[in-house]
Amino acid sequence: MKFCISILSLLPLKVLYFLGDFFTYPLIYYILGYRKKIVRKNLRLSFPDKSDKERKIIEKRYYHHLVDIFAEVIWSYRASEEDMLKHFTSVNVDKVEQWAQSKGGVIFMLGHLGNWEWTAEVQHRFTQQNMQHYNVYRKLKNNDADRAMTAVREKRSGLNSGIEKNSLLRQLVLLKKKDAHFTLGLISDQKPSPRNAHYWTTFLNQDTSFLDGGELLAKKFDYVVTYVHMTSPKRGHYIARVDLITDDAPNTPDNYITEQFARRLEANIVEQPEQWLWSHNRWKWNRNSK
């Protein structure tokens, strides 16, 4: 798979979009019907006030967006910094250096919105040479796919930018001892396992559990917490705006940070619903699941 990505990345982005529009999209949407039942269920329950026609429009736009992400990830394997700057804009990042100076660590909480594989672009755009940038990742079940995605991520963000989920706490303790200044990207909208579903709230009209790891880490280490608000003004172009959730995490009420993330993510999704990962079986569990 890594070899295929390497070869396809030689193509211009417009050509990759063309292949996606006339080959990949019809394949996954019309022929394979990739997770179409899950997507339709999620849209129906999330937007009960929309008509079937309106939800169908979001559905098709979502699959086009999903195909675009594949194309953009492949293209970015060889893309220059100059090319990436034309496609990905960061807002408010100047404040991040100030927060890191005062607290050491700045957590970026984000969802599977826009091109989440490019969100590491927010982090490595700092002029301060002693600032480090990390992203937490979970290994993919398919080993070939995991190796391929790791190769792409390393190409864009640096060899040492990834921290595997299970070693995160140990790495943060080491960073604290070194008095390091860093940012930490956390994609926080995955469904927790039933035993880790500690916080529930209403989200997109449904009873929804949220991972609270970002909040627990922020409280434990006194990190600044931000939400990365993602929008896409046009195809292949993304704007990531870093918004402060709190710079005083230890003194926030329990679940405040997690609830704030849920509310901001929900509003962000409603802005551009086709940009979220609807094929994720987000509501597989309920409160009674074990």
Q: Is 286 within the bounds of a domain?
A: no
Q: Which domain holds residue 24?
A: 2-275
Rg (CA), the chain: 19
Q: Is 285 within the bounds of a domain?
A: no
Q: Is 144 within the bounds of a domain?
A: yes
The total domain count for the chain is 1
Q: Is the pLDDT of residue 25 over 90?
A: yes
Q: Is 7 within the bounds of a domain?
A: yes
Q: How is residue 265 written in tokens?
A: 């993510």
Give the span between the Cα atoms of 165 and 177, in whole angstroms.
20
Q: How is residue 155 written in tokens?
A: 């190409």
Q: Is 14 within the bounds of a domain?
A: yes
Torsion region of 190: left, alpha or beta (phi above 0 gives left; psi -120 to 50 gives alpha): beta
Query: What CA dihedral angle connects 147, 152, 156 and 161, to 10 degrees?
Result: -20
Contact criterion met (CB below 8 Å) for 136 and 165:
yes
Digit-coded pLDDT (tens) for 267-289 = 999 999 999 999 999 999 888 87
Give the span between the Cα atoms of 26 and 240, in whole angstroms.
30
Q: Is the pLDDT of residue 85 over 90?
A: no
What single-letter DSSP state applies at residue 289?
Answer: -
- What is the amino acid identity at position 221? F
Residue 180: phi, psi to the nearest 5?
-80, 150
Query: How confident is the model at residue 153, as a pLDDT?
Result: 57
Q: How is residue 110 written in tokens?
A: 């984000």
- Across the range 14-39, mean pLDDT stands at 97
Q: Is 261 within the bounds of a domain?
A: yes
Q: Is 20 within the bounds of a domain?
A: yes
Digit-coded pLDDT (tens) for 109-150 = 999 999 988 887 656 665 455 678 888 877 656 555 556 555
Contact criterion met (CB below 8 Å) for 275 and 114:
yes
Q: Is 289 within the bounds of a domain?
A: no
C-alpha distances (whole Å) from 127 to each of 51, 88, 97, 102, 123 are 48, 17, 9, 17, 11
Name the percent of the chain lying above pLDDT 90: 60
Residue 133: phi, psi to the nearest 5?
-135, 125
